[in-house]
Structure 1
């Protein structure tokens, strides 16, 4: 493992965009290098021709782009909500360059019905501002299909790096119960619950999130013997 600090790659959730991470990034920089892309078809990012709106395809895209950006440095992948599922798919393709995975408000597609329906209603409006509405809808549909959800525990169980799972105590979209459930399949994992946080702690509680995240980052960034 390189002695360089890892590049932190932050993948946003459904109908969101990379700039959502900025309150957290401001607390982490300049010590940590951060990359907060708009996923293809979201925000200002075009979806490359031929890139299907599926978790495996987006995972491959993220792994390729993250590795290129890191330029040989180690990587930590950080995913929020649906972005957590993208991160799990990307993690399988990075080999020894990957030194850790963080999942925030991500429990494997198990969403609470009423808040999730509210999110979808808002999503139909927000999708009008997306660069690629087909990508936004398709990625959500494909990620919440029974087969995709059932496959996540297997992927989590095959993680070869430490994982940190963060839930908000007031998250109505992804309750801590479901975050703990999926985290339990990981060989080496840590679960933290942010008191008073909802589904967007990087925006609403960046300070408490940074206090949980940074000590863990320091541990996984330490060279292993």
Structure 2
């Protein structure tokens, strides 16, 4: 199951899914409140609440089969929150451009302000124009979900919790980051990955924050080779394919 990051949607993963199939069966849903998918009542815009949703959705989709969670950016934090709830059904974790665990007051404050400003002034009407599908997700994301998850993920407690959640991983993990990623720099990915008992870090030379879009073939080769080497899943044992 592929989990997208903040203000994005499941369609982010389409190029990667095209490379992984048919060997692997993949599901890339929209998180509730993003990509036009509604947020149900009771789902709070916090990392723990979305982590519980992710675990429940994964179990329902997998129908008892083994599964692997793949997270991107903020989606990687949701994966860490969901992992302890999946027990033996979870066979592995792949983190793409996901790291952190180091609280930085000033940069985080700037990100919060920038994100809040974008949400306040984003031109929602633009999403209705032809040819704007590529930028639709940020324009239609639910305000409360987007603002809440951004604020929650930037809190000192949430950031400092990530190393502990990573250390609790009971399955192998693969961490992939682009050498030119300025959103989540490689050093922060390596830092968080280092807390995982059984981890592997791979650097994609020349890539930025969205390697599933810019280098899907290279990323798919890394993931497939790691899955086969670790024997964490057999072909077509992930939850079934659905791209939002």
TM-score when normalising by structure 1: 0.89
CA distance in structure 2 between the aligned counterparts of 1:105 and 1:146, rounded to whole angstroms: 20
CA distance in structure 1 between the aligned counterparts of 2:34 and 2:83, rounded to whole angstroms: 21
Is contact 1:116-1:173 (8 Å) kept?
no
Is contact 2:179-2:203 (8 Å) kept?
yes
Q: What CA RMSD, in Å, does the superposition of the two structures yield over aligned residues?
A: 2.3
Task: Count residues with an aligned counterpart.
Answer: 215
Is contact 1:15-1:126 (8 Å) kept?
no
CA distance in structure 1 between the aligned counterparts of 2:123 and 2:192, rounded to whole angstroms: 29
Structure 1 partner of 2:191: 181
User: Residue by residue, what CA displacement relative to the aligned partner does 1:45-77 show, whole Å, maximum 9, x if unpaired?
Assistant: 110101100011000000001111001110100
State the shift of 1:207 in Å.
1.1
List gaps (5 residues or longer) in structure 1: 1-8
Where 2:91 maps in the other structure, the secondary structure is strand
The reply to whether residue 12 of structure 1 matches residue 4 of structure 2 is yes
User: Residue by residue, what CA displacement relative to the aligned partner does 1:21-64 show, whole Å, maximum 9, x if unpaired?
Assistant: 00000001111111101001001211010110001100000000
After TM superposition, the structure 1 stretch with the greater mean CA deviation from structure 2, 158-167 or 211-220, is 211-220
Aligned pairs for 1:192-207 within 5 A: 192-207=202-217
CA distance in structure 1 between the aligned counterparts of 2:67 and 2:114, rounded to whole angstroms: 31
The reply to whether residue 94 of structure 1 matches residue 113 of structure 2 is no
State the shift of 1:122 in Å.
8.6
Where 2:85 maps in the other structure, the secondary structure is coil
RCO higher in 1 or 2 (8 Å CA, sep ≥ 6)?
A: 2
Structure 2 partner of 1:221: 233
Higher CA-based Rg: 2
TM-score when normalising by structure 2: 0.82
Structure 1 partner of 2:44: 52
State the shift of 1:91 in Å.
0.4
After TM superposition, the structure 1 stretch with the greater mean CA deviation from structure 2, 127-136 or 37-46, is 127-136
Is contact 2:181-2:209 (8 Å) kept?
yes
The reply to whether residue 209 of structure 1 matches residue 219 of structure 2 is yes
Where 1:221 maps in the other structure, the secondary structure is coil
Is contact 1:40-1:47 (8 Å) kept?
yes
Structure 2 partner of 1:71: 63
Aligned pairs for 1:31-42 within 5 A: 31-42=23-34
State the shift of 1:211 in Å.
1.4
CA distance in structure 1 between the aligned counterparts of 2:72 and 2:208, rounded to whole angstroms: 12
CA distance in structure 1 between the aligned counterparts of 2:174 and 2:193, rounded to whole angstroms: 8
